[in-house]
Amino acid sequence: MHKTLIITFVMLILTACNSGESRKKDTADQSATKETVNMLAGLRRAAGHGIMFGHQDDLSYGIGWVHPGGESDVKRVTGDYPAVYGMDLGDIEHRSPVNLDSVPFADMKKFVSEIWSRGGVITFSWHLDNPLTGGTAWDVSSDRVVASVLPGGEKHEEFKICLDNLAEYLASLTDEQGVAIPVIFRPWHEHTGSWFWWGQNICTTEEFIALWRFTFDYLCGEKNLHNLLFAYSSGGDIVNAEQYLERYPGDEYVDLVGFDYYQMPDAGNSSFRENVSRVLGIVTEAADAHGKLAALTEAGYEGIPDSTWWTTTLWPAIENHRISYALVWRNAHNRPGHYYAPYPGQVSEQDFVSFFSFDETLFQIELTALSIYKQE
């Protein structure tokens, strides 16, 4: 009897140890490819050196040009590419040849291989159309959309087709050797605001978490995609950690945590600086507590009317926080004034060059030296 008890006890301990060890990879996806695992380790390493600069649609178009190949407003101003490139997958759910901002998905695919070959970082957002109403991502006319796409909902099968189309595209992102190129996938962003159909007042906490987990499980499980790091990114309206983490889907579903925040024309530099720094405090603390990376996943000042915005506003807001990257939004070529990075002749051009020269801002040249995809 005594012996049986001891054996049971030992077995219990062994089981406990094993289940503790069953999560071996640092990535949320336990079947992540070695390139993806290396990428996460490389991103952690880079965060010890500085903050990577990112730009949305950097290679697709800029002020006065549209994807001729190799062009970049950031490069035109600094001589170097950004470290991080944001791109958007909106409309891939319909197998459209171009995304919601008219960027051909075929071009994006070329950019992805180009970025991968020079050791840059790719992050995808997804402004997915509303599957219930057929409207855009911004159609918040119904609060039943998330429920309708979840298992049992009337749009569930259609939603799975959206994910199938997304997965097919993500799976096609391979290099010449057939290696799946690792990317940061940032779905369901700005969910603490109520302007997208997956937003705060449009669905419940349970529905949002179910949506996230379903997306993750379907892509990594059903679709066998293992080149994704998942980014959880809220709006900038964060008051405390509890609110920030209210709809956090769990450590097993997330690799990176962040938020999006823009300077409004009437808000002033100090309110941007203070809010970004305050929220980064909350987000980096949450990141540390959960063993995740942190980032300012979207930011900017539309039209950058302030000639010293980079060194007197953005940099002071982020410099004291250990974050992986700060990404500014796109330089629309066909929407006058809708740009967030400087171009030659723009008023903040020289200041951006100063920002670029800081030891702790990382662009492509520093990233190449850090070779973030190399196994440690």
Residues 265-284 that bind ligand BMA (CB under 6 A): none
Q: Which is nearer to ligand BMA, 98 or 209 (CB)?
A: 98
Q: Shortest Cβ distance from residue 50 to ligand BMA (Å)?
A: 26
What is the spatial distance between Cα 257 and Cα 286, in angstroms, rounded to a whole number?
8
Which residue lies nearest ligand BMA, judged by its C-beta?
88
Q: Name which of 27 and 60 has its Cβ closer to ligand BMA.
A: 60
How much helix, strand and coil, in percent to the nearest 5, is found in the chain?
A: 40, 15, 45
Instruction: Work out which of 100, 161, 171, 245 binds ligand BMA, going by CB under 6 A.
Output: 100
Of 136 and 275, which has the nearer Cβ to ligand BMA? 136
Q: How far is the CB of 335 from ligand BMA (least distance, A)?
A: 6
114 is catalytic: no
Q: Which residues contact 23 (CB under 8 A, 6 or more apart)?
A: 30, 252
Q: Of the two residues 303 and 316, which places its CB atom closer to ligand BMA in the complex?
A: 303
By CB atoms closer than 10 A (0-12, 13-18, 19+), residue 77 is buried
- Rounded CA-CA distance 273/1 in Å is 68
Minimum distance from residue 329 beta carbon to ligand BMA (Å): 6
Instruction: Please state, in angstroms and rounded to a whole number, the distance separating the CA atoms of residues 195 and 111.
Output: 30
DSSP class per residue in 66-127: E--SS--HHHHHHSS--SEEEEE-TTGGGT-SB-TTS-BHHHHHHHHHHHHHTT-EEEEE--
Q: Least separation, in Å, of the C-beta of 90 and ligand BMA? A: 6
Site for ligand BMA in 303-362 (CB under 6 A): 329-330
Count the residues of the shown chain that bind ligand BMA, applying the rule CB under 6 A. 6
Q: Pairing relation of β-strands 65-66 and 61-62?
A: antiparallel
Token pair listed for 354 = 């100063």
**Using CB under 6 A, which residues numbered 62 to 91 contact ligand BMA?**
88
Pick 88 or 366: Cβ nearer ligand BMA = 88
Q: Say how far apart CA 47 and CA 293 lie, in whole Å.
A: 8
**Rounded to the nearest whole angstrom, what is the least distance from the CB of residue 88 to ligand BMA in the complex?**
5
Per the residue annotation, which of 190, 207, 349, 366 is the catalytic one?
Answer: 190
Residue 285 among the catalytic residues: no
Torsion angles phi and psi, residue 295, rounded to 5: -155, 155
Q: Which two tokens stand for residue 299?
A: 């930011």
- Of the listed 93, 298, 349, 366, which one is catalytic? 298
Nearer to ligand BMA, 95 or 127 (CB): 127
101 binds ligand BMA (CB under 6 A): yes
Query: What's the min distance (Å) between Cβ of 91 and ligand BMA?
Result: 10
Contact positions vs ligand BMA (CB under 6 A): 88, 100-101, 127, 329-330
Cite the active site residues.
190, 298
